[in-house]
Structure formats: C-alpha cells, structure tokens
Amino acid sequence: MAYESILLDVDDTLLNFKAGQRQAVDKLFRDQGLELTPEMRNLYEAKNHQLWSDLEKGLVSREFVLAERFTYIFKEYGLVKDGAAMDQIFRKYLAAETIFMEGAKAAVKELAQSHDLYVVTNGVAVTQHSRLANAGLTHYFKGIYISEEVGYQKPNRQFFDYLFEHSPEIDPNKTLIVGDSLTADIQGGLNAGINTCWYNPEGLLNSTSVTPTFEINNLNQLKEFV
C-alpha cells in the first residue's frame, strides 16, 4: 500500500458544490422575489470565484467574502441588501444540497476499508459539517478539518501544520491529498510536503506552474495507485 492516509477535499471533489450552489442561490433569489437570469448568475459566480481566490491569497477576510458576494449582486439589481443576512439564508439552502460527484460515495466507502480518510476543506464549518452529515459521509472520516475551525485556509502551510499536530498518527510520507483545486489543494499539498492528486473531471488544461503527483478524472481511479 503506497499510502496510509488520504486527505480529501469536499467542494467539487466529493460533493458537487457548483450544482448545489446554483440551486441554493436560485432559492435565495426566489425568496427575495427576484429572477436570477443567466447573465446575473454569471456575474455572481465570477465575483464569488474572485473573492474566494482573494481569500486563499490572504487579501480579504472570510466574513467579507460571505457578505460581499451578495451585497454586490443585489446592487446589480439596484437593491441594497444586508449581504451577511442573505448569506445566512443561502447557507440554510446550501447545507441541504448533497449532490455527489460521480463515483464519490462508492470511492469513499471502498477507500475507508483500507485507508485512514480525512476531510480537508475551506469553507464555513456549520455548512460543511451539515453537508457531510446529510450526505451520509461523516462516519467514514477519521478527522474533519475545516478552514474556519482550523484558523487557516488551504493552501497555507499552517492549515496542514494544524492537521498534523491534531492527528499525529498521520505520516506525511505516506499521505496523499486529493482535490479539484490546483491553487488550494495541490499547492497546499506541495506546501505541506506531501504527494498530491489533482481531480480533474472536466479535463481542464493545467496552465499553472503547480504540478501534481497524479491526475485523475474519476475518483474510482484512486484505487489504482493508493
């Protein structure tokens, strides 16, 4: 067995965050009596991506990200809304969304029989815990590490230092991190000195300088080399 411990991202690795977010945002806007047009959705998703990227780089706070994305999009409608309050409504809907990535549940169930599994995810703790529980995944993991609770975001080395300190049974030399984000998961693994696996279901071109140890397009491929 090449690895003893596998660190798994959640959003768009185990659970389809993009699809869940779309549904949750749709419900939020319907609550507000508004139609979310394709153009406005694209604006929201672009702003949301930019803000989370800024958070990974340490340029803004998590609280700013969660509120500003909604403050921004409602302004585009000519409305003044409390972004933080809108985020709370959105999170209620998001927590109930448990759409799996293809093969994810079967892969977790199989890997848990032979490896120690850990969640490593950026995000809001209550939302991520709810999504994992609602998806029936929590009991497969020996530890769940969420940036809000850790105090650091992936790809910061401090996130992984916290993980290794609180799960001392993990041997970094026998650990693999799996995730869809080159900038958060793969760069994070490189910062931590562990092997990495880029989950790339859409077959995207890697135009960055971040080089993963492995690349897969379906999670069932993990069993071939772990």
Query: Which residues are identified as catalytic?
Result: 9
Helix (H) or strand (E) holding 39: helix 38-56
Structure token digits, residue 78? 């000519």
Distance, CA of 58 to CA of 62 (rounded, Å) = 9
Distance, CA of 155 to CA of 181 (rounded, Å) = 10
Going by C-alpha positions, the residue among 179, 162, 190, 132 that lies closest to residue 9 is 179
Helix (H) or strand (E) holding 104: helix 104-111
Per the CB < 8 A criterion, the answer to whether 108 and 144 are in contact is no
Please state, in angstroms and as integers, the Cα–Cα distance from residue 198 to each residue in 26, 180, 205, following that order: 30, 6, 12
Q: Is the dihedral of CA 126, 17, 224, 185 positive or negative?
A: negative
Helix crossing, 62-76 with 83-95: angle to 10°?
100
DSSP result, 52-88: HHHHHTTSS-HHHHHHHHHHHHHHHTT----HHHHHH
